[in-house]
Amino acid sequence: MRVKGRFDKTQEIKELFPKDLAVVGLAVTGFLRSALGYLLADFSILCLLETKDLGAIRKLCPVVSLEKDLGVKLPEKFNTSEILQIAEAKKHLTDKRRKGKLGLFLYKASKKGNRLAEEMGLRVLSTPGEIRMRFENKKEFRIEGKKAGLNLVPGETLLVDDLDEKRWDRYRQELGERLVFQLSDYTVGGGLGTFFVNNREEFEEFKDFVRRRREVREIKMVNVTKFIEGEASSITGCATKHGVVTSLLQKQIMDQPELAGLHGRSGVWLGHDWYIQYSEKEQLEAEEQCQKWGEWMYKQGYKGIYGLDVVVDKEGKIWSIECNSRYTGAFPVYTMMQLDRGETPIDVWHLLEWMEVDYEMDLDEVQKVAREPKEGAHFHLHNIERKFVTPTRMVKAGVYQWDGEKVKWVREGFSLLDIKDKDEMVLADKVVGERMVLKPAERIGRLIFKRRVLDDKGRLLPEIKKVVKEIYSQFELMPVERPEGY
């Protein structure tokens, strides 16, 4: 079977996959797995939370929420391994497996998650945790990236305890006054564990962070690298038997005070603006880096989707920073953008590989389509109050319209595909409800656009800042006492 870079109807995509394999997308929120409802004929979602966008998502595919549909008491930790240990989740998945072959689609596999899935006789449709986690470790990435021929930022890895003031002074002399510290043991997304250190105060903040975090987890190693002046960017790859398909080189939305409680943190990822395009030279060089890395990982047992974080410097040179060996924060919005343009989504190649479909493709033709411009942007909203709060007003998920002064809800929806005009946007993904208690910096929703949201300096456009303020104010957040257990 030959698969092309474009399609006419989504039914063509659904017909690519085996009829006898049902797939369940497992996640904390249903939105995170929603795009696969467009791609697979027999697809359903099992999520932890009953969020306000599920009414719209259920019109695309079946969704079962543990919180509401199965009446489960929420666990302390929100991740897929915790979900797989819940008795009601196990029963739901086991009952579905009894009806036929069942695949499990995860954001990222872990050793524990793989073991739990195997015990239930489920087929995980992604690289096993023991392989995946090796490439996500920031220390290992620098070792493996050098072997793969990546253009890595100058620096070295050392024990955190060896990074004293004397060492810091030495690095400042060798690499420059501005440095980047990355805790290599951290594989948590969103910039946690990455620090831009320009002065003594920021050096002390880094040391304080390490001391606090060591109370709850082991921290051993740190990467110390030169600070590269340039654009924080990323590119998604999908490693297949036919080679590596990549996404556009994509502009990351970082460190916006209107969106996140930064308070001493830097390098905080918040979303993407795909309207900001890079030069052909920059795109092709990023593709080359991404393809080298994907080919290297594929030889060692990794296949499917991954992300490569890069910096594009002032001369247009691409510097590889780290790997997210998993689905990335670009999804599911990236899939929706490709569907909107009639492109075969990059997810399709991941699914074909993991469903072991016998397929062919013309990699050059597919990649030519994949690098075409896209129309979309998205970012997360967070509690920026620096205190525990609760919403005192119900805010609907769905499509909103901006008239230049106010935002108003206009109809149900959850997807970029639900946006009809440039003055519309979608609020989805864990839109918080009344009586929920939110800790500082906790996410309260995601906004999706079909228009540009950043200026040339990488800051939110003035009108987008107004939109954010309007949406945020609708929750009417009220301070509350810190709950027990936090």
> Do residues 72 and 171 share a domain?
no
Beta carbons within 10 angstroms of residue 317's beta carbon: 15
> Do residues 94 and 194 share a domain?
no
> Do residues 412 and 453 share a domain?
yes
Q: Is residue 277 part of a domain?
A: no
Q: What is the mean pLDDT of residues 350-369?
A: 97
Q: What is the mean pLDDT of residues 145-169?
A: 94
Whether residue 251 is predicted with pLDDT greater than 90 in this model: the reply is: yes
Q: Is residue 259 part of a domain?
A: no
Q: Is residue 148 part of a domain?
A: no
Residue 367 CA to residue 351 CA, distance in Å, equals 17
Structure tokens at 55: 């009414």
Structure tokens at 464: 């987008």
Q: What is the pLDDT of residue 19?
A: 93
Look over the chain and give the mean of its residue pLDDT values, rounded to a whole number. Answer: 93
Whether residue 332 is predicted with pLDDT greater than 60 in this model: the reply is: yes
- Cβ neighbours of residue 451 under 8 Å, at least 6 residues apart? 275, 377, 422
Q: Is residue 119 part of a domain?
A: yes
Of 269 and 185, the structure prediction assigns the larger pLDDT to 269
Label residue 434 by pLDDT band (50, 70, 90).
Answer: low
Q: What is the pLDDT of residue 486?
A: 64
Q: Is residue 41 part of a domain?
A: yes
End residue of a domain, out of 106, 125, 144: 125
End residue of a domain, out of 195, 227, 259: 227
Strands (DSSP E) found in 16-80: 21-27, 43-47, 63-65
Whether residue 360 is predicted with pLDDT greater than 60 in this model: the reply is: yes
> Do residues 17 and 83 share a domain?
yes
Structure tokens at 72: 């489960």
Label residue 300 by pLDDT band (50, 70, 90).
Answer: very high
The CATH number of whichever domain residue 96 belongs to comes to: 3.40.50
Into how many domains does the chain fold?
3
Q: What is the pLDDT of residue 481?
A: 85
Residue 316 CA to residue 289 CA, distance in Å, equals 14
Structure tokens at 58: 């259920």
DSSP secondary structure of 443-464: EEEEEEESS--B-TTSSBPHHH
> Do residues 25 and 120 share a domain?
yes
Q: Is residue 263 part of a domain?
A: no
Q: Is residue 370 part of a domain?
A: no
End residue of a domain, out of 86, 108, 125: 125
**Element housing 425 (H / E):** strand 424-428
Sign of the CA dihedral with 61 first, then 306, 427, and 446 last: positive
Q: Give this prediction's pTM.
A: 0.93
Label residue 106 by pLDDT band (50, 70, 90).
Answer: very high
Give the domain extent around 66: 10-125
Q: What is the mean pLDDT of residues 357-371?
A: 97
Q: What is the pLDDT of residue 436?
A: 81
Q: Which amino acid is at 162?
A: D
> Do residues 406 and 465 share a domain?
yes
52 contacts 85 by C-beta, under 8 angstroms: no
> Do residues 61 and 118 share a domain?
yes
Q: What is the pLDDT of residue 349?
A: 98
Whether residue 62 is predicted with pLDDT greater than 90 in this model: the reply is: yes
The CATH number of whichever domain residue 164 belongs to comes to: 3.30.1490.20
> Do residues 47 and 92 share a domain?
yes
Q: Is residue 344 part of a domain?
A: no
